[in-house]
Structure 1
Amino acid sequence: MNPFRNRHPVRPALVALGSAVLLAASVTVPSAAAAGAEEQPRSSVALDWYDTTAATIAAGGAPTQITNSRTWGVSWLAAARATRLVPAGVDRGDYQDAALASAVHDALVALVPSRTEELDAALRTTLEAVPDGPAESKGVAAGARQARLVLAAREGDGLDPASVNAPFTVPPAAPGVWQPTPPAYAPAAQYGNRLARPFLLDSPDQYRLPAPPALDSARYRADLAEVRAYGAVDSTVRTEKQTETADFWLGSSLTLYTEPLRVALARSPQSSAGRARLVALFHIALVDTQIATSDTKYAYLRWRPVTAIRAGSIDPDPAWTPLHTTPAHPDYPSGHNTYSGAAEAVLSALVGPRTAPFKLTSPTAPGVTRTYTAWSRLSQENVDARVYSGIHTRSADEAGLVLGERVATHALRNATRLFGTL
């Protein structure tokens, strides 16, 4: 029996947990259905700096996804802490806007110094709209202070690109054991993630998954047969729509989820402080999820479908080629799906499992636009996409959703460790 089948996409307890997180932070918790009826925030400073963060990372960020996730997490955690408490005698909105902008600016300048000129200009624009006075000056000072503190706390956490791709010695070839994959046969990537220091997990292996299906199991045979048929570059059973799904979700999860998170942020009726918490918690949960993903991947070292089909004992086909090039790390679990599972859990808990329709495009599927109304739909498509790409088994995909949800739930339960102390 597959322990990952029929995963309930949104557990009521998870939504309740998200409400508790936000209530503990003294902000209004809207339901997704009621969000449109709530009074909207008075300014777009959080959205402005969300877009500035996205542009900064796109233009000058690191080559490793988890490092860029860390940049999001650090800068917006500083903003969330800086906006949490408002000094007496100053305007709340002015203070929070100045604090958010100052915190994100200073953290990004430290982490992506090549974009200092653009970040300085963005800060000037924000502060020009905030009335001069104690609220502005105290907000700027609080943002700068929290940026310094968070940067210092995360120094040496092992999430820099060199540490993320720490060398890994490939074990001898054996049934089920990961080996470098064609066409490049590149060295293992992201091994160092499992050696990094998480934000909220007690250890990288805290939520390590059970072992993948045994090579002699019916589930393994079914997995392999499915990916062999639907994931081949020359598949005769994969439909045009299924190929489009594979192409659409091929790129970086960080990139593909930037717009869904922005949609949630734009539709949130929360103040700048509440919005900062949403972005910070999302990305911190995703950093920890990527750490946990690499822990499970390198604990079990399950070979990729291309190796299993070409060199395994079940109807070997040395010429079989997947639709898309296989990434250079083990199959189980799928990193795209751990990301999806965590993102779905955080968004469902903090803004509700459904939202008004929104459109999404993908840099790896030019000209394609898809419309969504539920975060779970993104996860469902990710599961199918990696099979249709020929680069993951369905067991690896479904296990990924479970791991992501577990790590995100841990982040929600322990959010006071992020925001409860200044």
Structure 2
Amino acid sequence: MKYHKASLMLLLSVLFLTNCGKKATINDAEILHANEEELTKVIIYDVFTPPVASRIYGYANLASYEAMRYADPTYSSLITQIKGFDAPPVPEKGKIYNFTLAATKAFFVVAHKITFSVDTLQDYEDKIYPMFKQTMDDSTYARSIAFGEKIGKLIIKRAMVDNYPQTRGKPKYLGNNGHAMWRPTPPDYFDGVEYCWGTMEPFVINSSKQFPLPPPPAYSADTNSAFVKQVQQVYRLNKSLTNEQKIIARFWDDNPFVVQHSGHMMFADKKITPGGHWIGITSIACKQTHANVVKVAQAYALTSIALFDSFICGWEAKYEYSYIRPVSQINETIDREWLPMLQTPPFPEYPAGHADISAASSTVLTYLFGDNFKFLDTTEMRYIGLQRHFDSFNKAADETAISRNYGGIHFLNSVQKGTFQGHEIGNFIIQKLKLKN
């Protein structure tokens, strides 16, 4: 997880520019991108589940934005519009601050509290802060660090009462074997992940039940029923996938912990989470548009808010309905040996979580950067060696949704309803938040 010394020095040479005989200068936007990449590495290494990863991105990026926004008075506070946060600190009038440094400090104060691999984060910070110090006088440096720490601690205070700490250590969720009911899935039969997530305190939406979904198709043995037809659709499709469909499924897999089996041996592949993929797309959009540092901070914060709130809504419905996964129904009624192309994640079927959070994220990003925003998604290059081009954020989200059906891990109805709910959440966030003064 730690940077190789040569690669760290290369990173620093990008972030900090030095002219002969003059003080170093800071590439502010690139600092925020580098901070985000460091957090993503830790999320992957620590194997946080997708919902928990969204919480980490959410609080860390709110902290960064709340410090960074003071660099441009036209940007509004977000935490003053969100339940549960105390009033934010205000910079001293007439005093000089480096708000990129303050944002970095706030970001890592939060990250240290809500991740595990703090030594890795500290190693990165130990290289970054001295470089900042070269660009300013000691009083500005100390003042900026202190300001960022105040914001970070304020953010943490809310995180400690959002029902995440309060739901740790709950009994396992194993579902049941009733008709159309979720039960642990092959090959490893893990218990259900984060079944209390619908009780988390959201950021912007009013509650996890604000955007309810209709029940999924009820169980039926009738071959003409919607229930049986959706099962047959997944089975038949996965028997005849095209190469393009396989690539799409693999590109959007984003399963952070896939267990591989080879004889009696087992090993795990660690990959980016679904939320991490959309954080990566946010970075691409910011860099492609040469967004200024405050807009970069805002884009990360808003995408993270959309991720966190949509995970809360999606998980509320998942465990309300506790609906069966395709692999369980197909194994029991059609083909005992069948396995989907992708490994089924350990939580109920309905709605499709990746479709939900992708629609919410794409809605926010479309608001920030415009519709028909063409981009090359290189987020997965370092993990699986794939990249794909999209003509808009919404088209990327649509492909994400259908990828779950191609991969054999979701019914079509689940991806459709997840997409619908995600767009509702994204639109609500945009309409409710005041983003500019």
TM-score tier by shorter-chain length is 0.7 to 0.9
2:237 to 221, 225, 230: 230
Matches within 5 A, 1:174-253: 174-216=178-220, 218-231=225-238, 235=239, 237-251=240-254, 252-253=273-274
Matched AA of 2:197: N
Matched, 1:376 2:394: yes
Contact 2:356/2:421 (8 A) holds in 1: yes
Unmatched tracts of structure 2, length 5 or more: 1-24, 72-90, 255-272
The answer for the alignment partner of 1:265 in structure 2 is 286
Unmatched tracts of structure 1, length 5 or more: 1-41
Matched, 1:51 2:51: no
Matches within 5 A, 1:61-80: 61=46, 63-80=48-65
Q: Distance in 1 between matches of 2:37 and 2:284?
A: 14
Matched, 1:145 2:166: no
Contact 1:165/1:189 (8 A) holds in 2: no
Tell me by how many angstroms 1:219 deviates.
Answer: 4.1
The answer for the alignment partner of 1:332 in structure 2 is 350
The answer for the alignment partner of 1:83 in structure 2 is 68
Contact 1:341/1:404 (8 A) holds in 2: yes
Tell me by how many angstroms 1:270 deviates.
Answer: 4.6
Q: Distance in 2 between matches of 1:403 and 1:127?
A: 46
Q: Distance in 2 between matches of 1:398 and 1:301?
A: 17
Report how many aligned residue pairs link the two structures: 367
Matched AA of 2:275: L
The answer for the alignment partner of 2:303 in structure 1 is 282
Tell me by how many angstroms 1:368 deviates.
Answer: 2.9
Greater relative contact order (Cα < 8 A, sep 6+)? 1
Q: Distance in 2 between matches of 1:275 and 1:355?
A: 16
Matched, 1:111 2:135: no
Query: Aligned with 2:286: secondary structure?
Result: helix
Contact 1:70/1:159 (8 A) holds in 2: no
The answer for the alignment partner of 1:123 in structure 2 is 129
The answer for the alignment partner of 1:293 in structure 2 is 314
Matched AA of 1:391: I
Matched AA of 2:230: D
Q: Distance in 2 between matches of 1:164 and 1:207?
A: 26
Tell me by how many angstroms 1:375 deviates.
Answer: 1.0
Which stretch of the first structure deviates more once superposed, 213-222 or 394-403? 213-222
Q: Distance in 2 between matches of 1:136 and 1:336?
A: 41
Query: Aligned with 2:375: secondary structure?
Result: strand
Tell me by how many angstroms 1:283 deviates.
Answer: 0.7
Q: 1:126 to 1:413 in 2, by over 3 A?
A: farther
Q: Distance in 2 between matches of 1:263 and 1:199?
A: 25
Contact 1:98/1:127 (8 A) holds in 2: no
Contact 2:106/2:149 (8 A) holds in 1: yes
Tell me by how many angstroms 1:392 deviates.
Answer: 0.4
* 1:304-323 CA distance string (max 9 Å, x none): 111222335xxx33333222
Contact 2:195/2:319 (8 A) holds in 1: yes
Q: Distance in 2 between matches of 1:354 and 1:171?
A: 42
Matched AA of 1:276: A
Tell me by how many angstroms 1:71 deviates.
Answer: 2.1
Matched AA of 1:186: F
Query: Aligned with 1:157: secondary structure?
Result: coil
* 1:174-213 CA distance string (max 9 Å, x none): 2211112122222111212122222223222222211113
Q: Distance in 2 between matches of 1:127 and 1:399?
A: 50
Contact 2:344/2:409 (8 A) holds in 1: yes
Aligned CA RMSD, in angstroms, stands at 2.9
Query: Aligned with 1:209: secondary structure?
Result: coil
Tell me by how many angstroms 1:335 deviates.
Answer: 1.1
Q: Distance in 1 between matches of 2:301 and 2:281?
A: 15
Matches within 5 A, 1:24-43: none
Contact 1:61/1:68 (8 A) holds in 2: no
Tell me by how many angstroms 1:406 deviates.
Answer: 1.9
Q: TM-score, normalised by structure 2?
A: 0.75
Which stretch of the first structure deviates more once superposed, 273-282 or 81-90? 81-90
Q: Percent identity of the aligned residues?
A: 23
Which stretch of the first structure deviates more once superposed, 295-304 or 237-246? 237-246
Tell me by how many angstroms 1:364 deviates.
Answer: 9.5
Query: Aligned with 1:47: secondary structure?
Result: helix
The answer for the alignment partner of 2:163 in structure 1 is 158
The answer for the alignment partner of 2:12 in structure 1 is none
Q: Distance in 1 between matches of 2:431 and 2:63?
A: 20
Q: 1:367 to 1:278 in 2, by over 3 A?
A: closer
Q: TM-score, normalised by structure 1?
A: 0.78
Contact 2:101/2:132 (8 A) holds in 1: yes
Q: Distance in 2 between matches of 1:210 and 1:83?
A: 41
Tell me by how many angstroms 1:384 deviates.
Answer: 2.1
